[in-house]
Structure 1
Amino acid sequence: MSDAPHPYGFDTLQVHAGAKPDPATGARQTPIYQTTAYVFRDADHAAALFNLQEVGFIYSRLTNPTVAALQERIAALEGGVGAVATSSGHAAQILALFPLMGPGDNIVSSRRLYGGTITQFTHTIRRFGWEARFADTEDLAALEAACDGRTKAIFCESICNPGGYVTDIPALAEIARRVGVPLIVDNTTATPYLCNPIAMGATLVIHSTTKYLSGNGSSMGGVVVDSGQFDWSASDRFPSLSQPEPAYHGLKFHETFGPLAYVLHGHAIGLRDLGMCQSPMNAWITLQGIETLSLRMDKHVANAKAVAEWLEADPRVSAVTWPGLASSPWHARAQALYPKGAGALFTFGVKGGYEACVKLVDSVEIFSHVANLGDTRSLIIHPASTTHRQLDPEQQVAAGAAPDMVRLSIGIESAADLIADLDQALAAATA
């Protein structure tokens, strides 16, 4: 679709990008290429593929036609030059950092993150010799001061999970530009329909495709999208991309592949050595989900507005964090950066504290009590006792997961039914 005489709209790209009729059978829907390996034409063809002299399929840990279609579609929706699909959103975060980091290097990250990401950055990445420095993204001077010569990226979420905080992506992108590092934005909660981080200056965008992109709670996956706009050779800061690669006879990725250097490194080295590939079946399911992304997100946002406004007016509720509300401190920013809507994930406070929250999630009937978000079904969870349980109280509050807060992921059911369900559950929780 890159040869089109004019840019296609989002609704067209979400159906057609990456999807061509199967050349062998004419099948209109992308097939599930459930295979581990691919036959080479001859010995020269095999050598060219392994030398990165020709693009093609070798082994499904590296490349797979179904997964390739998904990568092309998401890259098109995000405005990137390419993408690397992974087995999960957490895998995407590690793969995103892998070409950038070495022992002793650090990233500067927003402290408003999903609890599992905070744990991954606080503990797990230290085993690679990497460090995460957490900063308040409202204090831009402090965030920039946290960067030093070993900083390799700035990391944030577009709309933060769970508290609904709206990150000022253009401001962080400007800091990243001055420091000379990429800005990585987790756009899972907003989706490319509501937010385009690359247009705001981000270098890399990641998703847990498990969430809104798939949309039906049936397939795990993640993806890293590259803008293709970062100069990896501007300094010696990113040797994996700018310096000779021993595994490929001294090939320099950025010098050889230009804007595609990061994506090709993700396949040729990241997936080759870390092995965190997405399965063809999960990629196929996610392709189906993306076809209706804009339709679903409009309904998600409309329902979130109705539920949030009802909750804010309820005397049993102490606070609602949906950034689409006029009362939200992030309302003006949300309107400016996300004109189609402020997402459908937010928290609300229950008068009665921790115990009332636990009773509430045990009392709902339509809402599903699960550790997930972005489903067509409405979901509920108490972060302080589940997803953010591993954090200390101060970290919970900073992440927007205080003990008296319940997180909602609003689905596409009837808004009136969702409100009625919350009404009866609140009655049980605060009786």
Structure 2
Amino acid sequence: MTTTATPYGQDNFGFATEQVHAGESIDGDAGARITPIYLTAGFVFDSFDHAQARFNGDDGGLVYTRYGNPTTAAVEGRLTALEHGVDSLLVSSGQAAITVALLGILKSGDHFLSAPSLYEGSKTLFRENFARFGIEVEFVDDPHDIDDWRRRVRPNTRAVYGETIPNPKNDLIDIGLIADFARDQGLPFVIDSTASTPYLIRPLDHGVSIVVHSASKFLSGHGASLAGVVIDGGTFDWSRYPDKFPQFSTPIGGAGSPTLTEKFGRTAYLQYTRTIIAGRLGPVLSPLNAFLLQQGLETLSLRVAQHSRNALTVARWLEAQPEVASVDYPGLPSNPSHAIAQKYYPRGTGSVFGFTLRGGIGHARILIDALELFSRMSHLGDVRSLVLHPGTTSHAHLTEAERVRLGIFPGLVRLSVGIEDEADLIADLEHAFDVLRSGLGSVVVPATREAAAERGVAVGLPLSA
């Protein structure tokens, strides 16, 4: 037996309060304050009629962990509150979240539009795997040119897609501008908000229809598990477009029965995606991983604020180095996306970004190998600082011309800045640049915090500076 914990009966708490309390349940028998890990495949029915009612969806109860579980339900409730949505669906990874979110909308023969700058794994998913399903993606050339979006709309266009903070170039899109276009065209706008989290921006508040996250990243925060989430804003009127989206306007049980929108109202999309897409394809999230995500969410604002402060300090330092040709961080006034960052991201612009070394891949190799505090790995959003060379890892399958077109130059290095002391991060980078400048490929005695301070390294700068 569980009871939902809603202090004082209010639903208008601040972000930090919601990240601790929203959606949680208290075990009414044992009194456990934290939602327990319900490691069970299924759930007992009281009677024949009870089982029938559960499968018919009449009482909203649980049937099987593939469709829902008390642990995952508590976390879904918290994410729904944090994103200002109406319902959420947890799945096994960020890629699973993107897949089921779009397959809840798209079918064979459909077409959707996307902003050009995306996580490379999403692009290959769309171009290769979705193509096998008969679903076509088309990338606009300029996401800020609404006429470019309009020209590409076809009779079979069914969705618009983008990212809040694209990885690794951080070339921000004007979310409200694209949301207005999508609404005018009668299309749902799906956005991946992994790199920003709801602490930095709530896309649903800016007209987006559906938000997805790789919850393995900042939402969990500790690099210990995988998870993904789809959050429905409940604002897109699916019933208004029965020809475009027949799955929501077709009677569930045949003639005379209600449609999904009639039965579930604003949560029709999420109900369909949970039961018909995720429930049948089976990318279920383990209750254990849901619990780990729940633990991470409780400190989300604290971590992301520190991530953003550290990243801005690091970006400023890198921009001042003569070996660096460019720094792709929107928090810098010199960045082309700075105006959009000021409009949509007053709390900061995250901590994942690239910088390009003038010396190309050779300098990137020396620098990356000389780093000691930064871990060399392909993850991001970890409390630990991470470093990667996209040209030889995440984007290695592309041709050189394709990489250049995307701005993935040989000297591009991607950082995911963690929550360590910023002075230590700067000292590690300064040490690596010293190795680079000396022309040595081996690691020498690392710089210390004191050495960084003696050389005038600026740390502790405010985000607004």
TM-score (norm 2): 0.90
Q: Which deviates more, 418-427 or 222-231?
A: 418-427
**C-alpha distance in 1, partners of 2:255/2:31?**
37
Q: Which residue of 1 is the match for residue 217 of structure 2?
A: 211
List per-residue Cα deviations over 1:24-66 (Å, max 9, x = no partner).
Answer: 2110011000110100111111111111222111111110111
- 5 Å matches for 1:404-415? 404-415=411-422
Q: Which deviates more, 144-153 or 337-346?
A: 144-153
The amino acid that maps onto 1:173 is: A
List per-residue Cα deviations over 1:228-272 (Å, max 9, x = no partner).
Answer: 111001012111122234699965211211001111112221222
Q: Which residue of 2 is the match for residue 89 of structure 1?
A: 94
The amino acid that maps onto 1:214 is: S
SS in 1 for 2:340: helix
SS in 1 for 2:431: helix
**Does the 8 Å CA contact 1:226/1:263 hold for their aligned counterparts?**
yes
**Does the 8 Å CA contact 1:35/1:60 hold for their aligned counterparts?**
yes
Structure with more contact order per residue of length (Cα contacts < 8 Å, sep ≥ 6)? 1
2:14 to 9, 33, 41: 9
1:222 to 224, 228, 231: 228
Structure 2 CA distance for partners of 1:247 and 1:204, relative to 1, 3 Å: farther
The amino acid that maps onto 1:427 is: D
2:61 to 46, 56, 59: 56
2:379 aligned with 1:349: no
**C-alpha distance in 1, partners of 2:270/2:32?**
28
Structure 2 CA distance for partners of 1:248 and 1:408, relative to 1, 3 Å: farther
Root mean square deviation, CA, Å: 1.7
Q: Which residue of 2 is the match for residue 416 of structure 1?
A: 423
**Does the 8 Å CA contact 1:57/1:63 hold for their aligned counterparts?**
yes
**C-alpha distance in 2, partners of 1:67/1:108?**
31
Residue identity over aligned pairs, in percent, reads: 44
Gaps of 5+ in 2: 1-5, 440-465
**Does the 8 Å CA contact 1:114/1:399 hold for their aligned counterparts?**
no
**C-alpha distance in 2, partners of 1:366/1:318?**
23
Q: Which residue of 2 is the match for residue 168 of structure 1?
A: 174
2:83 aligned with 1:78: yes
- 5 Å matches for 1:186-205? 186-205=192-211
The amino acid that maps onto 1:213 is: L
**C-alpha distance in 2, partners of 1:270/1:3?**
37
1:370 to 370, 373, 377: 377
**How far has the Cα of 1:427 moved from its partner?**
3.1
**Does the 8 Å CA contact 2:360/2:409 hold for their aligned counterparts?**
no
The amino acid that maps onto 2:222 is: N
List per-residue Cα deviations over 1:305-361 (Å, max 9, x = no partner).
Answer: 110000000111111011000101111110110100111111001121022212222
The amino acid that maps onto 1:252 is: T
**Does the 8 Å CA contact 1:51/1:248 hold for their aligned counterparts?**
no
**C-alpha distance in 2, partners of 1:97/1:303?**
34
- Structure showing greater Rg: 2
**C-alpha distance in 2, partners of 1:199/1:261?**
20
Gaps of 5+ in 1: none
**C-alpha distance in 1, partners of 2:305/2:270?**
31
Q: Which residue of 2 is the match for residue 154 of structure 1?
A: 160
